[in-house]
Structure 1
């Protein structure tokens, strides 16, 4: 069987992030109910290393992704998450393509963020605080500049000063007015931010949630297990909380699990992102809003199908 291999470079060369955003929005409005998605499977290898298996199905496509998550990789200058996606025809389950999982994961995560930010970022929004400097942070910096050009100010915070400075320099090349956290500390930057993104994998809250002003959107995407949390419960208690799916968030998000355990958040108060996209819920703009994402298999499937459909025939040989 001769199966095309769609590489990270193919995706970068031929797919616009707007295409992925549109595909995800169409899916949520029509054929996809995240609560019906297959659960993600985790396999622990040893300390700091595990495999993830993510399968999903839709009327046109079925597929699965296998990813490794290695906490030691950033110190080796290797991405934490790596893997491959197998896309199949839904009718015959014939494999149609193998897709590099790195760029697929980065693209679908940034596209989901953009689907949410498009409903919360105003024309007068300008300031972003970014925690992290890895692959997801880099992709989000690129996508936000492309889709929200009114966002111009970026404060970058990270544990490694050299990597933080390098990220800020790269962001400046994308058109950001970028500063590092040492130049503008969180206690100054957080209250001014219109958008805060956490992309670190940290097991501890990154900032004091009481500093976040009403109306600010916080996107937490760096963790996907119910033990680790980038946000404190003080922020979760006073915010609208949007999730991909309620059961998935309770089982896989430390931010959600900790807040529920402390009695400051309930399952019933969680807002499914599908309801936000479809306009079925009213958001209280007098409060901060947290979008907590852990990533779900349906997102990979939708974006993988869009990639395959839009890929030129020369790349599918």
Structure 2
């Protein structure tokens, strides 16, 4: 163990540019990282909540994200989810650093999403209309990460957040240099935004589809990150049936991705048609020729790769 263990707080973690986090993930896959060998997350019950443990190893690094989930924290004025990332040297197993786990998650989740769709997103140079379902940090960060990835290639033409209660939503007035519209889910304004969108982000707690996929353009990209339960979904089975479906890895998707699982059960999607992140990492920029759907459930290797990238950038 070093005499002084580095601690990177939320501000330090956030200094890594989102597109650099995307590039780090793609590079790790091109270098041979195999997501299928990633250890599944472990839930450990506690008196007042749970631990979620996510260990991983790749190359010169190993680490574990420790997240706590405390449902009663609202009464104490604290976040329900908190956590740390512990980064170690893979050879000596000596601790290298401790990172803010919540900011790391906020950074890596949209980076994974964009790593999955970047080759299709960048195949078009026309102005991009962005829609995000949800009012939380992931909805916001998926928008800003998208803007960073397309920076210099595509203009952000509009940003629309679709939420349950626009009057209560605490959202920025502007992102990516454009004013943000905030509309109510199920409204005519929401339907128009979805019909116009080049990319739709779903980052909600919904357990049923949040929009009618018949509204989507044939070249639309949809990303869903709001759940990892086999009986919860944010998109309908018709979208999954008509789209190119990209997932982090087959086994976690078939185990946890309700959007995919329920489409298979409905008979609209063949699991043999799943495309993985490892598959798309090797692809050049190209149009998909149909809608693209990326579903993420979160895997431990992703946190490790981004944590190592944060450390490299901090040197």
Per the normalisation by structure 2, the TM-score is 0.88
**Cα distance per residue 1:157-192 (max 9 Å; x no partner):** 11132343x31xx15154123212248622222111
**What's 1:302 paired with?**
305
Determine if contact 2:43/2:50 at 8 Å carries over to the other structure: yes
1:69 & 1:281 partners in 2: Cα distance?
A: 39
**Cα distance per residue 1:134-161 (max 9 Å; x no partner):** 1111222222233324123011111132
1:307 & 1:78 partners in 2: Cα distance?
A: 26
**What's 2:55 paired with?**
55
2:229 & 2:279 partners in 1: Cα distance?
A: 24
**Cα distance per residue 1:75-94 (max 9 Å; x no partner):** 99865542111100000111
Determine if contact 1:155/1:184 at 8 Å carries over to the other structure: no
> Cα gap change, 1:265/1:186 in structure 2, threshold over 3 Å: closer, same or farther?
same
Q: Work out whether 1:22 is the aligned partner of 2:23.
A: yes
**What's 2:42 paired with?**
41
**What's 1:175 paired with?**
177
2:308 & 2:145 partners in 1: Cα distance?
A: 20
**What's 2:160 paired with?**
155
> Cα gap change, 1:221/1:76 in structure 2, threshold over 3 Å: closer, same or farther?
farther
Deviates more, 1:150-159 or 1:175-184: 175-184
3-state DSSP class of the match of 2:132?
A: strand
**Cα distance per residue 1:101-159 (max 9 Å; x no partner):** 11111111121222234212221042111001111112222222333241230111111
**What's 1:246 paired with?**
250
> Cα gap change, 1:125/1:78 in structure 2, threshold over 3 Å: closer, same or farther?
farther
> Cα gap change, 1:280/1:146 in structure 2, threshold over 3 Å: closer, same or farther?
closer
Determine if contact 2:228/2:256 at 8 Å carries over to the other structure: yes
**What's 1:198 paired with?**
202
Determine if contact 1:275/1:281 at 8 Å carries over to the other structure: no
| Unaligned 5+ runs, structure 1 | 313-317
> Cα gap change, 1:8/1:184 in structure 2, threshold over 3 Å: closer, same or farther?
farther
**What's 1:32 paired with?**
33
2:292 & 2:74 partners in 1: Cα distance?
A: 30
Determine if contact 2:30/2:278 at 8 Å carries over to the other structure: yes
2:264 & 2:223 partners in 1: Cα distance?
A: 19
> Cα gap change, 1:30/1:180 in structure 2, threshold over 3 Å: closer, same or farther?
same
1:125-140 paired onto structure 2 within 5 Å: 125-140=127-142
1:263 & 1:136 partners in 2: Cα distance?
A: 31
Determine if contact 1:145/1:175 at 8 Å carries over to the other structure: no
Deviation at 1:19, TM superposition (A): 2.2
Q: Work out whether 1:96 is the aligned partner of 2:96.
A: yes
3-state DSSP class of the match of 2:267?
A: coil
Per the normalisation by structure 1, the TM-score is 0.88
**What's 2:192 paired with?**
188
Cα-Cα RMSD: 2.5
